[in-house]
Chains A and B, each alone.
Chain A
């Protein structure tokens, strides 16, 4: 039992250290509008034809670029979270993909994220002659770069550029909208029990910064550290953004500690993790909803105004995009 616990603890530690890859397993939701139609659109673009994705954030990007038909296998989480992929063969979990299952699907490219555990699999797959692409996805820039790389790989450069542009435009718009507002001190909770929070050097921390929230979790550690309730009470956050999936109402849970300013002022917000926490192609939507969670519905008007003002001016040049 102890040996198993130790093995499990190692896996968890790796999971949390490289949470960008783990955090992507939370949820994903289906894109809407005209881009949704692209999902089923057959493609003749060059590039690998038999893809296996071992991470939901990568699976989501492939789907969003309209190249879902190239996927011949996915990890369990992707299949569980994305209805479009539910019927595809599964090749195991994030940390224990089955080599035999992968080989039997004869992939011409396997997509996985950076991190000790997955890179070990990458090495083994490479030794077996399977081409492997590794995508780091802990930071916002890395996610954008992943969209660009996958766009190039799948011959969907324009679709990828559009996605990146949309995300960067939204980041700019929410920053402009939040500029005139006070930056509330905030703690973003990934899970209540045990308590995991959003720390520094994560894409969620960068998004909180962009929407004008001071993330107190930065002071604790980088990544997604396990915090203590006492630390949280002592930090006195003005906003509690609770992303715990499938839990009771956040305010009901946190109201047992009424000294927390966010509780006292009714600023405990249930955040739908399914719409915010995947380091994938829909971070524009995530940014907008995070801004609303932090500042209230009133900010939406300002976000629209910022977008409209930008639309009236010339589109961003490539060097401007990079600067952002």
Chain B
């Protein structure tokens, strides 16, 4: 493990923060309309001067503040949540293939959200309740996961992983069933949910996601040193005085909260939680004190950049951002895997 110094931490996080700011500016100044950086500055000036009312009829005002900015904010939060969750689950489960969706939390969230999408009409529930239902589904799945896998003191990585895999399979079956009986419109919404998108996000949901990300990220940062030791093995961590079960429980719950909130607003965006942690480990090492904030910054940047591509490459038409992250993430993952293999056999 590369030694972590304060100057190294400042350099890495400073560089990533600078990159993230650049990506945010690009995202705000890019879109299918011809509203570039100058217009963004004008809108920002207008907004800061409090003359929003006079600008309310201006298309650039609507596009920058009411279309691009909400997506940017949600993209930042969801990307940070997924990448941070990927780092934590890979360490907790000591499994390099673990991603934010491996434990079934996403399955629970997706199933609950899709129940509302597919059956909301019959049940008299508006589709605006989808994020709330999904968030609740994620929490229920977390509780179920913990209960089935043995609860406090018995929740080893293998039990958690197996329970998650089985629960995900169950949730997938439920989703496929609902998709099969859904009509065309509900079917297309379910499809987008499964592949992940930010096109329908409402800024109202940002508060829920922000609080969940803050809790998950805060707990992860506080317990990052424990995570370093847990990643080496439970016995090693326990011998070094880490209350393994308690810390695993806190990490599991807070991360699940974060993933549930992310899935609730954006569906199942793949690869962010898998590719970002692996790429960062190759570059900055595996110290979670640095890896966790670096993953949050990188995940946010990766998702915002992917979303900018998703909404611009087809000139007025949109791709689901999950398709873009998969198109970028798949080949990149293979590249990283080959590179890691070339340095020696994978354990």
Interface residues of A (CB under 8 A from B): 1-2, 4-5, 8-9, 12, 15, 22, 25-26, 77, 80, 93, 96, 191, 193-196, 219-221, 225-231, 233-234, 236, 244-246, 248, 256-260, 264
A226, chain B: closest CB distance, angstroms: 5
| B191 and A5 contacting across the interface, CB-CB below 8 Å | yes
- Report the minimal beta-carbon distance from B64 to chain A, rounded to whole angstroms: 10
Judge whether A191 and B32 touch: CB under 8 Å: no
* B32 contacts A228, C-beta separation under 8 Å: yes
Map CB proximity to A onto B52-80 as digits: 1 under 8 Å, 0 otherwise: 00001111011100111000000000000
Residues of the A chain whose Cβ atoms lie less than 8 Å from the Cβ of B56: 258-259
Q: With an 8 A cutoff between CB atoms, is B31 at the interface?
A: yes
B317 and A225 contact, CB distance less than 8 A: yes
Q: Can you list 25 pairs linking A and B with CB atoms under 8 Å apart?
A: A4-B176, A5-B191, A5-B194, A5-B195, A8-B179, A8-B190, A25-B183, A194-B188, A194-B318, A220-B317, A229-B199, A230-B32, A230-B33, A230-B67, A231-B32, A233-B33, A234-B32, A244-B185, A257-B66, A257-B67, A258-B57, A258-B62, A259-B61, A260-B59, A264-B57
Q: Is the CB of B311 within 8 A of A15?
A: no
Partner of B33, one of A219, A234, A264: A234
Asked if B233 CB lies within 8 Å of chain A CBs, one says: no
Known: A194-B199, A220-B316. A8 touches B66 (CB 8 A): no
**Top-6 shortest CB links A-B:** A234-B33, A231-B316, A259-B62, A193-B200, A259-B59, A228-B318
Chain A residues positioned under 8 Å from B172 (CB to CB) = 1, 4
Known: A8-B179, A234-B59. A1 touches B191 (CB 8 A): no
- A-side contacts of B62, CB under 8 Å: 233, 257-260
Q: How far is the CB of B46 from chain A (nearest CB, A)?
A: 13
From residue B75, how far is it (CB to closest CB) to chain A in Å? 14
Q: How large is the interface on B (under 10, 10 to 19, 20 to 34, 35 or more residues)?
A: 35 or more
CA distance A80 to B186 in the complex (A): 15
- The complex places the Cα of A156 from the Cα of B337 at a distance, in Å, of 66
A-B CB contacts (within 8 Å), total count: 109
B224 within 8 A of A: no
Closest Cβ–Cβ distance, residue A314 to chain B (whole Å)? 43
Contact present for B317 and A191 (CB under 8 Å): no
| A191 proximity list for chain B (CB < 8 A) | 185, 188
Cα–Cα distance between A194 and B34 once the two chains are bound (Å): 23
B289 interface residue, CB < 8 Å from A? Answer: no
Q: Beyond the given A96-B180, A233-B63, A233-B67, could you list 18 further A-B residue pairs with CB under 8 A, ordered by the A residue number?
A: A2-B270, A4-B176, A5-B191, A5-B195, A8-B179, A9-B191, A9-B195, A194-B200, A194-B318, A229-B67, A230-B32, A231-B32, A231-B316, A234-B32, A234-B34, A244-B185, A258-B56, A259-B56
Does B278 make an interface contact (CB < 8 A)?
no
Specify which chain B residues have a CB less than 8 angstroms from the CB of A258 in the assembled complex: 56-57, 62
A93 CA to B318 CA, complexed, in Å: 27
* Min distance, Cβ A193 to any Cβ of chain B, angstroms: 4
Q: Is the CB of B31 within 8 A of A230?
A: yes
- The answer to whether A221 touches B317 (Cβ under 8 A) is yes
Which residues of B lie under 8 Å from residue A245 when comparing CB positions? 185
Smallest CB-CB separation from A16: which chain B residue?
Answer: B188
Contacts of B67 in A (CB 8 A): 229-230, 233, 257
State in angstroms the CA–CA spacing of A248 and B120 once bound together: 14
What residues of chain B lie closer than 8 Å to A244, measured between beta carbons? 185
Residue B248 lies at the interface, judged by CB distance under 8 Å to chain A: no
Q: How far is the CB of A40 from chain B (nearest CB, A)?
A: 28
Quick check: A8 and B191 within 8 Å, CB to CB?
yes
The answer, yes or no, to whether B168 is at the interface (CB within 8 Å) is: yes
A-contacting residues, B175-217, CB 8 Å: 176, 179-180, 183-185, 187-192, 194-195, 197, 199-200
CA A12 – CA B53 in complex, angstroms?
A: 41
Is B150 at the interface (CB under 8 A from chain A)? no
Q: How far, in whole Å, are A225 and B319 apart by their CA atoms in the complex?
A: 11
Instruction: Determine if A226 and B318 form an interchain contact, defined as CB atoms under 8 angstroms apart.
Output: yes
Q: Is B14 an interface residue (CB 8 A)?
A: no
Nearest A residue to B120 via CB reads A246
Neighbouring A residues of B57 by C-beta, 8 Å: 258-259, 264
| Cβ distance B3 to chain A, nearest Cβ, rounded Å | 39
The minimal Cβ–Cβ distance linking A20 to chain B, given in whole angstroms, is: 13
- Determine the chain A residues whose CB is within 8 A of the CB of B35 once the complex forms: 234
Cβ of A228 and Cβ of B191 under 8 Å apart?
Answer: no
Q: Which residue of B lies closest to A247 (CB)?
A: B127
What's the Cα separation between A4 and B180 when bound, in Å? 12
Which residues on the B side are within 8 Å of A256 (C-beta)? 66
B184, A22: Cβ atoms closer than 8 Å: yes
Q: How far is the CA of A26 from the CA of B126 in the complex (A)?
A: 19
Given known A-B contacts A4-B172, A5-B195, A227-B317, A12 and B187 have beta carbons under 8 A apart: yes
Given contacts A9-B195, A228-B316, A246-B121, contact A233 B59 (CB under 8 A): yes
State A195–B121 Cα separation when bound (angstroms).
Answer: 19
Residue interface mask B1-41, A partner, CB < 8 A = 1: 00000000000000000000000000000011111000000
Residues of chain A contacted by B187 (CB below 8 angstroms): 8, 12
Q: Which residues of A contact B192 (CB under 8 A)?
A: 194
Question: Which residues from chain B contact A260 at a C-beta distance below 8 Å?
Answer: 59, 62
Which residues of chain B have C-beta atoms less than 8 A from A229's C-beta? 67, 199
CB distance from A174 to the nearest CB of B (A): 27
A1 in contact with B168 (CB, 8 Å): yes
Q: Which residue of A lies closest to B311 (CB)?
A: A228
Please report the C-alpha to C-alpha distance between residue A25 and residue B187 in the assembled complex, in whole angstroms.
Answer: 12
**Contact call B194/A8, Cβ cutoff below 8 A:** yes
B66 and A227 within 8 A (CB) = no
CB distance from B318 to the nearest CB of A (A): 5
Residues of B within 8 A of A236 (CB): 59
Residue of A whose beta carbon sits closest to that of B316 = A231
User: Which residues of the partner chain A approach B190 to less than 8 Å between Cβ atoms?
Assistant: 8
In the complex, chain B residues 258-302 whose Cβ is within 8 Å of any chain A Cβ: 268, 270
